[in-house]
Amino acid sequence: MENLRYITIEGPIGVGKTSLVELLACEFNGKTLIEDAEGNPFLPRFYGDTRKHALQTQLFFLLNRYQQQKELAQQDLFDGVIISDYLFAKDRIFAYLNLDENELALYEQVYRLLDAKIRKPDLVIYLQASTDVLLDRIRQRAKTFERDIKEEYLLRLIDSYNRYFFYYNDTPLLVVNTTEIDFVNNEADLKGLAKKIKSMKGGKEYFMPMASREPLFEAVDYPKPTEIKHEEDNGTGHR
């Protein structure tokens, strides 16, 4: 793709977003935009009582991301590549998992005001992995604020991500199933992805180094976005 200046990496908890951002920044001689999820002061209380502290936790993430995006807009994107470990629009995935109906209505009002001012990335890379792999990666990195994540919550989160990106068409999208890929320890996987990024022509494409690797959502018959209904969540886990 020409004029590829702003790349966003997305995917569920434990999929390896931040690690890949740092690796690609080196590959493309770019800068990183990393979200500080642990800097959310409401997160410990959210894990203690998900229902009670969901709204303030969600709004803090939304406003903090917006502030980062404002700073990004003031930078000269023609001076190099910027690679981010989150897509601003994905915040709604978590909102629909964690907020009740009244909270969601308030959240949507704030979100729409902010989203209209956000720069769209030139490319979104959506990372997928199986639930078992994600749980194993979460355990390996042993972050304190992730230790109470329940498998049920992770399953619902994965499904919500897949629904979102099944219909996503705001920007070019590259889908990568990382279940059998190791960008950190296998240089060939990383180089292959970098080559694929450079050869992207737009629309939705897939990166699968082996023929047996398949995107995890393509065979699922998801309802259209207007048919997706909010379900209240009792699990824990946020980012």
| Residues contacting residue 101 through CB under 8 Å, at least 6 positions apart | 230
Residue 237 has pLDDT above 60, yes or no: no
pLDDT of residue 188: 92
pLDDT of residue 151: 83
Residue 229 has pLDDT above 50, yes or no: no
Radius of gyration of the chain (CA): 17
CA distances from 218 to 151, 175, 207, 228 (A): 22, 10, 13, 17
The 3 state secondary structure assigned to 156-190 is HHHHHHHHHHHCCCCCCEEEEECCCCCCCCCHHHH
Residue with more model confidence, 74 or 120: 120
pLDDT of residue 216: 58
Which domains does the chain carry? 6-227 (3.40.50.300)
pLDDT of residue 105: 96
